[in-house]
Amino acid sequence: MVPEGPSPVRRRGRSVGTMGTDGADRIPRATPAAGSGAQGPTWASRERVPLPVPRHADGRVARGQETRRLLVESLLDLVDAGATAPTNQQIAERAGVAVRLVFRHFRDTEGLVVAAVALQAERHRWILFAVPPRGPPDIRIRALCRQRRLYFERLTPIYRVARRRSDAAAALRGLLAEDRARMHLQLAGTFAPEMADRGDEADDLLDALEQATGWEAWRARRDGQGQTPAAAERAMAFTAGRLLR
């Protein structure tokens, strides 16, 4: 009789893969022109961007990462549903976890809010694809301003929540600085021919365009002046067009 060996051990764990989309917020995305260096599908939808989990993480670590992800996404869901100042209790209830886990996975509420802003930005950065520096400038202006309207509007709800918290101000400035750097490079590439024509004034033109099409200008039009997204986009395009003449 052959003695039985130990039964194979099956490792059990939870992988946090990219969640499927529910079909909401589908936005027609212009197909990038050949040679622009941009790639991607013609249609894109809001993606669930997972937090990274080590390949060989044990079950406890994986569960912790899953809880962290659920808390961040629950905050975003509440804000997208219209909540202006969700409580930790509301966030935990929506995530289906105990409220004490908010402070186990985040140092404080500020950390959770900043993580939500970062995740929302990561979800929607595909909107800011390259606009080739050729063709009539008016067309490029309209394309760039439409991108920024879509991007800013996706981030505005959670951005407003973060701005109301003074303890999140420093971290929020850091996140906005990253976006500002990306948009600066996009402006320089999209309007490279016009910059070349300005000679020594190119840097001044680029700075003026950055101020006219950036976060603060959008917030001033939407929150300060009460403009609709469409009106704010038109004002942005008008200002950029005047600067580039």
DSSP per-residue codes, 134-198 = -S-HHHHHHHHHHHHHHHHHHHHHHHHHHHT-GGGHHHHHHHHHHHHHHHHHHHHHHTHHHHHHH
Q: 85-105: per-residue pLDDT in tens?
A: 899 999 999 999 998 888 888
Residue 31: pLDDT band (50, 70, 90) is: very low
pLDDT greater than 50 at residue 10:
no
Q: 43-79: per-residue pLDDT in tens?
A: 344 445 555 555 555 677 778 788 888 999 999 999 9
Helix (H/G/I), strand (E/B), else coil: 209 = helix
Sole residue written with tokens 């024509």: 197
pTM of the model: 0.71
In words, the CATH class of domain 47-106 is mainly alpha
Report which of 152, 93, 105, 85 is spatially closest to residue 125, judged by C-alpha positions. 152
Indicate the Cα dihedral angle 106, 90, 176, 141, nearest 10°: 150
Domain boundaries, the chain: 47-106, 108-245
